[in-house]
Structure 1
Amino acid sequence: MIDTDFLCRSRLFRGFTKEEIKSLLECLNAAVKTYKKGEYIFQMGEVTEHFGMILEGKVQVVSDDYWGERQILAGFERGQLFGEAYACMEKMPLLISAVAVEETQVLMLNAHRVLQTCTSACDFHRRLVENLVGILAKKNLTLTRKIDQISKKTIRGKVLAYLSSEAGKQDSNDIIIPFNRQQLAEYLAVDRSALSAELSKMQKEGIISYKKNHFILNKDNMG
């Protein structure tokens, strides 16, 4: 059973009533799927018409190169979408993979059914497409921020740019990041050992303090 109260609070279904969501999900032939930790939801090279909304769990979008090196491109949590850009394009092979970080439940939606109106629910579709466009626009801004972060010349520069962005999103200098140390290294495209060494230096200099994925930023010592 899908929690329509939760869907009402999501960005994709903003402005819809529970009854409207039930009708829309039937029209879209939506399905709920469960994935185990480490299981691929979408895999590089595949072609998909579907995108997912996370109902429970976490998903990472990753890029694996020929030699097995992985870079984490983004992490998503409950209520967020993933895969929608590829699903909206005609027969575009995936350049990324989506992996369940833990046991994860996903609402799978067919992009073509979302974009094509029907006589029974055309107003629903119009409003849903408007919400989807808003989500895509926000993700484009997020991607721009990440490009800025990983384009910094030093590991310290990348770390500070990322933590600063997270502090802005969480409106606090006391933040929780969604990555462990290996995942953060993959996200910033740096060596894990070098990252750990730089974080240790920054903590000794009083710029940050941290324990696992909990960070506190000290602006006074960043000069």
Structure 2
Amino acid sequence: MKNISSFLTNSVLFKNKTQQEINNALSSIEYIVKSYKKGDLIFSVDQTTKYIGIILEGCIEVQKNLASGKVISILYKKKGDLFGEGSVFSKTNTYPCNIFAKTKSTILLITKQNILNLLSKDSSLLINFLNSFANRILSLNLKTELLSYSSIQQKIAFSLLYLMDEYKCNNVILLPYSKKTWSEHLNVSRPSLFRELKILCDQKIIHIQNRTITILNKDHLISLLWH
């Protein structure tokens, strides 16, 4: 891939860096660029931790296999995001989850030692890395809270209230993914999600127009979380 720096200007790690600064940083380390087709396995459970990934193109999905045999989606990562950093810098020697290419994707892979070399030379990269790490922990905590709710309406309510806060919107939300992806994120079937959304629409709690969701009764959504 040519001009890797142009893909990294909006990445989490190289935030606020120019293409020349990124080129200079990359010239001091070794890295690999790999392409994956939709559905390809990038990192697998129990695979020895070696690389941290940066998504140059596409998006990925992190899946966890439960003891019950159920597979749940933990989170999604998009262009510019880091992944695998928690595993590489933990005391475990293997990845705890399977990571798949959600779409056709191109990934920059960097070893732990090369990441450390980058961070030791540039404090702004270190700050960006730590911010990404902190946001990842927050995302996992939110996912854990989401999974603690038993009903689909509770999961919908939690998700919508979070999006309202995340995007600092009043009562109109532009869903940042398809409803199919939303159902996977909530770990419910798409027909079940559509059924509960229709009920909420019929009750005048929300209004849906394609990906635009208008919150008509925020207090009701909040009350759902306490039931």
- 1:193-212 equivalence runs, <5 A: 193-210=191-208
CA distance, structure 2, for counterparts of residue 43 and residue 10 of structure 1: 24
* Pair 1:132-2:133 in alignment: no
Per-residue CA distance 1:102-132 (angstroms, 9 max, x = gap): 1101111112221247xxx9423x4322221
SS at structure 1 position matched to 2:154: helix
* Pair 1:27-2:28 in alignment: yes
TM-score, length basis structure 2: 0.83
* Structure 1 residue aligned with 2:3: 2
CA distance, structure 1, for counterparts of residue 126 and residue 154 of structure 2: 38
Amino acid at match of 2:187: A
CA distance, structure 1, for counterparts of residue 59 and residue 150 of structure 2: 30
Gaps of 5+ in 1: none
Amino acid at match of 1:104: S
Gaps of 5+ in 2: 221-227
- 1:77-96 equivalence runs, <5 A: 77-96=78-97
| Change beyond 3 A, Cα 1:196–1:92 | farther
Amino acid at match of 1:54: I
| Change beyond 3 A, Cα 1:54–1:204 | same
Q: Is the 8 A contact 2:53 2:82 kept in 1?
A: yes
Cα distance, 1:14 vs structure 2: 2.4
Cα distance, 1:93 vs structure 2: 1.7
Cα distance, 1:140 vs structure 2: 1.5
* Pair 1:109-2:129 in alignment: no
SS at structure 2 position matched to 1:74: strand
TM-score, length basis structure 1: 0.84
Cα distance, 1:76 vs structure 2: 1.1
| Change beyond 3 A, Cα 1:113–1:221 | closer
Cα distance, 1:22 vs structure 2: 1.4
* Pair 1:148-2:145 in alignment: yes
Q: Percent identity?
A: 24
* Structure 2 residue aligned with 1:47: 48
- 1:157-196 equivalence runs, <5 A: 157-172=154-169, 173-181=172-180, 183-196=181-194
CA distance, structure 2, for counterparts of residue 153 and residue 165 of structure 1: 17
Cα distance, 1:166 vs structure 2: 1.8
Q: Is the 8 A contact 2:39 2:101 kept in 1?
A: yes
SS at structure 2 position matched to 1:28: coil
* Pair 1:73-2:74 in alignment: yes
Give the total of aligned pairs.
217
